Amino acid sequence: MIPVKGFSGQKVAVLGLGRSGLTTARALRAGNAEPVCWDDNPAARAAAEAEGFTCCDLGRHGAFDDVATLIVSPGIPHLYPEPNPVVAAALEAGVPVDNDIGLFFRSFAGPEWDNLDTPPRVVSVTGSNGKSTTAALIHHILTEAGREAQLAGNIGRGVLDIDPGGNGSVVVLELSSYQTELARSLTPDVAVFTNLSPDHLDRHGGLGGYFAAKRRLFAEGGPDRAVIGVDEDEGAFLAGQLAEAPTDDRVIRISVARKLTGPGWQVFARKGFLSEYRKGRQAGSIDLREIKGLPGAHNHQNACAAYATCRALGLAPRIIQDALHSYPGLPHRSQIIAEADGVTYVNDSKATNVDSAVKALNAFKKVRWICGGLEKEGGLSALNSASEHVLKAYVIGREAAGFAMQLQADTLVCTTMAEAVEQAMNDAQSGETILLAPAAASFDQYDNFEQRGEDFAEQVRKRL
């Protein structure tokens, strides 16, 4: 655990007692602060009280008297579409608002680092799609290379639940826009921006606010090195803002859309081959085509980001290449769950928006596509750009008929996962892929995308 520094003997309010909130309360107590906790869920309050934490309604009058700061869990809105009443009350009382990420960055370093030969480093990964895979891939490469590494944030352990940093160790954080938007302290050594596509627009007041939340990691974080995906205008703009000159190798640009040229530091993938160029000369190359854990151009972008990050941390190209080949992939992200009679079954339940679903579809040539769920803002028209890969779409969800009507592909309304899998398996022939890439949220039928992916895998396995 990372004890929170700077609040010894002070009251700190904690709003939201899920995984991050309860861990935050423990870390505050470990730093000799006095956590005052609240959650609207009685069960969550009972769990906190069972650990000896004080719970009191932070919405009552005078709740923020003598409170030093308010720590908010990621899912609680603080600005758009409107502030949570407790957050509004804290701001009205002049109480600063922060989150566990901000507490981590202000608390991770300490005087004990003066005795280390190589101080710990922090890598932070953000973006719309691919950040979980990129973070996990960086962690995997470092571990395979014999470096002490921890994975935390939106993936792995809670950020304050990790172990203190050791000599030469690396902490890899996956950070969402909810986390980067609010954190009062952001000081990664290496910051990674994968890409940007519309998502969480209501939470951020539009696309500009969404990008601004991501940009804070770089503009306010001041990383020593920034790895930036430049295939969207926002990424190209961000790289241009950070670089002092074309030769500035503190910015590493990555792409899967084109060959990058110039005197700086670039990593790009074309036709399945990753290339690294520095000062106009090639410094490394990897054939990504046979790496099963990283299918498709979107995963090649993740590989470029992870490669660039690990190069910035001092790893040699050959070590990174060997580790890429042993990467097993993440559950629910282009995860191959079975291969039988020439048919490949792929679980990409994490493809919860249109952009990520398009990337998943483009990774395979002959696809029987299971899609549908709770449709997000922006419509589904962009999905039709990948329709040439789709043999047939099997649509699930409570609004399956309406979802199907927006697709150009041949469709079958199935509603349930069980029916969709059965129909797709009956139709599939050797050389084809049955792909779950919903392009929608899961909450109309499932608690989360993990549960949806597990249902898909179970339905497949019971029929093989």
Question: Closest by alpha carbon to 32, among 63, 11, 57?
Answer: 11
Has 356 been labeled as part of a binding site?
no
d(CA 130, CA 120): 25
Under a CB-based contact definition with an 8 Å cutoff, are residues 353 and 439 in contact? yes
Has 127 been labeled as part of a binding site?
yes
Could you tell me which residues come within 8 angstroms of residue 249 by beta carbon, excluding any fewer than 6 positions away? Answer: 264, 265, 278, 279
Measured in Å, how far apart are the chain's first and last C-alpha atoms?
Answer: 44
Has 442 been labeled as part of a binding site?
no
d(CA 346, CA 437): 9
Under a CB-based contact definition with an 8 Å cutoff, are residues 331 and 435 in contact? no
User: What residues pair up with 225 in beta bridges, in sequence order?
Assistant: 190
Has 296 been labeled as part of a binding site?
no
Has 115 been labeled as part of a binding site?
no
Has 129 been labeled as part of a binding site?
yes
Beta strands in 127-208 (DSSP E): 149-153, 170-174, 190-193
Residue length, the chain?
464
Under a CB-based contact definition with an 8 Å cutoff, are residues 196 and 214 in contact? yes
- β 170-174/121-126 pair status: parallel
d(CA 95, CA 97): 7
Has 130 been labeled as part of a binding site?
yes
Residues annotated within the binding site for ATP are 127-133
Binding site listing: 127-133
